[in-house]
Amino acid sequence: MDIEYLEKKAKEIRRTAVEMIYKAKSGHIGGSLSSVDILVTLYYIILRVDPKRPDWPDRDRFILSKGHSVEGYYAILADLGFIEKEELDTYCRFNSCLTGHPTVKVPGVEANTGSLGHGLSIGVGMALAGKIDKKDYKVYVLMGDGEQAEGSVWEASMCASHYKLDNLVGIVDRNKLQIGGSTEYVMSLEDLSAKWKAFGWKVIEVDGHSIRELIEVFESIPISPNKPTLIVAHTVKGKGVSFIENRAEWHHKIPNNEEFLEMVKELS
Q: Which residues bind other proteins (CB under 8 A)?
A: 57, 61, 103-104, 110-115, 117-118, 121-130, 132-133, 151-152, 155-156, 158-159, 162
**CA–CA gap between residue 109 and residue 63 (Å, rounded):** 7
At 6, which amino acid appears?
Answer: L
The residue (of 33 and 116) whose beta carbon lies closer to other proteins is: 116
Please report how close the Cβ of residue 141 comes to other proteins at its closest, in angstroms: 10
Please report how close the Cβ of residue 169 comes to other proteins at its closest, in angstroms: 14
Tell me the helices (H) and strands (E) count for the chain, helix number first.
9, 7
The residue (of 30 and 114) whose beta carbon lies closer to other proteins is: 114
The residue (of 119 and 208) whose beta carbon lies closer to other proteins is: 119
Contact 48, 127 (CB under 8 A): no
Please report how close the Cβ of residue 128 comes to other proteins at its closest, in angstroms: 6
Please report how close the Cβ of residue 36 comes to other proteins at its closest, in angstroms: 25
Cβ contacts of 181 within 8 Å, gap of 6 or more: 248
User: Dihedral of CA 171/176/182/185: which sign?
Assistant: positive
The residue (of 30 and 119) whose beta carbon lies closer to other proteins is: 119
Eight-class DSSP state of 84: -
Angle at 220 between CA 196 and CA 216, to 5 degrees: 100
